[in-house]
Structure 1
């Protein structure tokens, strides 16, 4: 079994002889859907993070949500039982503000479409946040905030149409809340794009500006990205050339992992953040498209994923299924049907 599975492109989930808390020095944790959903902690998150910190792993919280300043997020985490300082939180507002600061002179006014998180990040960079075109901004920055409405989007549209540089903190189409999945910043960006015909420069995950911001602020040497989204967290890890752990406490389903293209394939899979605290089982290629993990064996026949064996952890079955599904997709481009196999696992 390998010590850790290192590399960007994965043909099967990886294995680690050691708990991930020992194999990596820093966990770069997404927040929404990983640590909390709205005001409530995700099940097992608080105890798992406490245990990870206790054995020396640094915890950094990396989020595309630009609505709240880092200190407010840190206070929320602390209230949930996850002690954190403002410096432990890196958000897409900070990455967006750095991009804007590279485009305009120091002290410039910037039109903000979003919340206090964007305003604070701009101020940190020596820029002046404003809310109207009449204030004479030299750029536009847009991020998620529940308060954003038609008037804000119209103001952004006027500014973008006038030719001002436009930076979006992220383009996530959805955001998990305590009540379910809600529209994210990507839907608000789409409104301005539709009105102007212009595309913004995007700062957040999965794009390089966010990874750059994270590395600058954390100094991580052996980081592990931990997230619940394939198109932001896992693709961001792929783009940054670092390993990733996908947890199933947010928006991604096991069925979606089976059909993931190369850039969306995580290194490791776990039900929740307890996966940080344990070694990861190896997925073994047996030949002829068959893969084994734990007591499970998976393969493709007639365009369908098949599963045999069993074990205590259904996620071992999912890991084996990923190996078979990803290998089949890479070989002929066809995505096998895994619905029956997932039902057998209760996933």
Structure 2
């Protein structure tokens, strides 16, 4: 039996795409087994537990003055995981947890398939890319462009179920606010502070992030800390979206054809969110609103988009063009090809 080790963590945005790849891989290679390696963040292990997948937690350091000392301990822990599972191939989705696992894999000549979701790589993927056998990307690049893998059934939501879960009646257009799996405080604050004005034209479906649930109760407003299986139904009932510019969120919104106002988080991870937003706006399916202008322009931007049916229809068509619905399958095929060439682990 061939074995593949999936590594990535720090947010559900690293783990959900890896699960999507595994779902396709099982169909292509039924006798392959998988094990996942994630970060100590509670959301990582909770997500994998919910999906009934075997996993190990690896505490890998971020860059700091203590990095040289801590990475030694992380590499020792990574060796234990790799020697126990004995993988024939590594699929790395990024995050600092991937560095020690892929370092050990490289020393043992285990092939590494790396997937980069964003327009530019963060520190971890820049390091792992030096060891990777194959590099796949979500945005156009010099490497193999597969698009970003989508979680299972994310485009098969029910508008009726979304309304039922949220308690919204569907009589008004719906603004979906989503700041990624960890939430976005700036988006949350802007929405709450401008909620009365927003509700004049639309209902608001607000995913706040863990520990950031709004206590507001108003007709036409629904908030939840996190959405997993419910998210596809929220997509199905939404008219427009206000979102951070993480690659995972953009990919899911594009697959569902939702005209989106992107508010990139600036100056983190090589400014990847801003560069994601620029690339998405260029294609015409998104608008970009800088965080510094969020309070001032949020209401007018949302209201003008909701009022312009023709513009929304055009944006919906264009944003769908960014979607790669078979991304997980394409990556799974690359893994199978790599496994076919790799020697079986002992």
Determine which structure has the larger strand proportion and give its number: 1
The structure whose RCO (Cα within 8 Å, separation 6+) is larger is 1
Shorter-chain TM range is 0.3 to 0.5
Determine which structure has the larger helix proportion and give its number: 2
TM-score, with length taken from structure 2 = 0.38
